[in-house]
């Protein structure tokens, strides 16, 4: 968990009450088929939780989304993130009719950069001073048009 928090530190909950509220909110979104859309990721063979994925509108533009994903360290290096991003990209395109997707990666998260690139996302720009960049190292922005 600490390794995941290293790359997405703003996506942690303060306590169990806040966690339960967030889960209820995301379940309601999935059941209502509207964004943000967050799903747990599990192994097909065992049903064991191995990560999560989510999609949210790009601020101010309902025709574009930002996609995120995380695989627990224990399961990294098996191609799960690459498979997950491929499936979610297609799912979002088919389900919501959205064809422009972005991936934002904290500078230094080279594994996530490789996952984006393997899935046809192309580097667009580097962004500094973003709210979700607590270390101030910059965010790498990738884009895919389906």
58-111 per-position pLDDT tens digit = 987 889 999 999 999 899 999 999 999 999 999 999 999 999 999 999 999 999
The model carries a pTM of 0.84
Residue 122 main-chain phi, psi, to 5 deg: -115, 140
48-67 per-position pLDDT tens digit = 999 999 999 998 788 999 99
Scanning 32-108, the segments in alpha helix (DSSP H) are 80-96
| Per-residue pLDDT at 13 | 67
């Amino acid at each position: 968990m600490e390794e995941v928090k290293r790359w997405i530190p703003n996506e942690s909950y303060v306590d169990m009450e806040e966690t339960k509220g967030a889960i209820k909110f995301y379940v309601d979104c999935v059941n209502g088929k509207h964004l943000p859309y967050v799903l747990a990721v599990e192994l097909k063979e065992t049903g064991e939780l191995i990560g999560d994925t989510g999609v949210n509108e790009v601020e101010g533009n309902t025709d574009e989304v930002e996609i995120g994903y995380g695989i627990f360290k224990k399961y990294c290096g098996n191609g799960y993130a690459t498979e997950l991003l491929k499936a979610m990209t297609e799912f979002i395109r088919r389900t919501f009719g959205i064809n422009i997707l972005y991936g934002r990666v904290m500078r230094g998260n080279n594994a996530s950069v490789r996952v984006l690139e393997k899935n046809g996302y192309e580097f667009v720009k580097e962004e500094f001073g973003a709210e979700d960049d607590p270390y101030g190292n910059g965010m790498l922005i990738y884009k895919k048009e389906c």
